[in-house]
Amino acid sequence: MRYAMAIDTRKCVGCSDCVVACQIENKVPEGFCRDWVVEATSGTYPKLELEIRSERCNQCGNAPCVRCCPTGSSFYADGGIVLVDPDKCIGCGACIASCPYDARYVHPEGFVDKCTFCIQRVRKGQRPACVEVCPTNCMYFGDLDDPNSEVSIKLKERKHKTLIPEAGTDPHLYFLI
């Protein structure tokens, strides 16, 4: 089992519903977020292009944060989801410095937090909160090992990319382009 997410940049309108839904579902403390929206404009008026991306932890297969965690609090859970054990984490921030995607933050209660692919929902057979709420229905989630999962199908059908592939992190957040 290998969980992954694919997001269709052609449909995403950058509304940030994924951000607020995540904050509420996961009780992310005020002033922090586990996912965020990037708007990348290129060209000059009127020859312009805009790519909107909902970004979060890439649930890397080769995660620098797991490698560098001195206490072993960052670990791979089921389906390759990278988690932090808040009870073990000492909040030293080594992982924050090592993450090329800037996906982690220090929770006011002293541990490091980030996107969990909503593992508590996924284990119950639900989709992550951001995927479930997205009004443009542009996010797909599932098991890459299952060729019939939404995410496998979309990645077969469409051209896609990952972020900072040169970092060699083996990211599992795909953007359909």
Interface with ligand SF4 by CB under 6 A: which residues? 7, 12-18, 22, 25-26, 34-35, 37, 54, 56, 115-118, 128-130, 134, 136, 138-139
Q: How far is CA 106 from CA 22, 32, 34, 35, 155, in A?
A: 17, 9, 11, 14, 33
CA Rg value for the chain: 16
85 binds another protein (CB under 8 A): yes
Q: 4, 5, 83, 99: which one contacts another protein (CB under 8 A)?
A: 83
Q: Using the rule CB under 8 A, is 107 a contact of another protein? A: yes
Location of structure tokens 């709420």? 133
CB of 168 to another protein, least distance (A): 26
Residue 86 interacts with another protein (CB under 8 A): yes or no: yes
Place of tokens 């951000």: 19
In whole angstroms, how close is the CB of 104 to ligand SF4 at the nearest point? 12
Residue 113 contact among another protein, ligand SF4, none, beta carbon within 5 to 8 Å by kind: another protein
Contact pick of 17, 160, 163, 170 for another protein (by CB under 8 A)? 17
Peptide bond into 100 cis (omega under 30): no
Tokens of 152: 């496998």
By CB under 8 A, residue 14 contacts another protein: yes
CB 21, CB 147: distance < 8 Å: no
- From the list 61-69, 95-103, 105-113, 146-154, the region that binds another protein by CB under 8 A is 105-113
Would you count residue 94 as binding another protein (CB under 8 A)?
no
Note the Cα 60 to chain centre separation in Å: 9
Smallest separation, CB 18 to ligand SF4 (Å): 3
Tokens describing residue 11:
């449909």
C-alpha–C-alpha distance, residues 122 and 162, integer Å? 22
* Binding residue for another protein, selected from 54, 58, 116, 169, defined by CB under 8 A: 116
Q: What phi and psi values does residue 117 have, to the nearest 5 degrees?
A: 55, 25
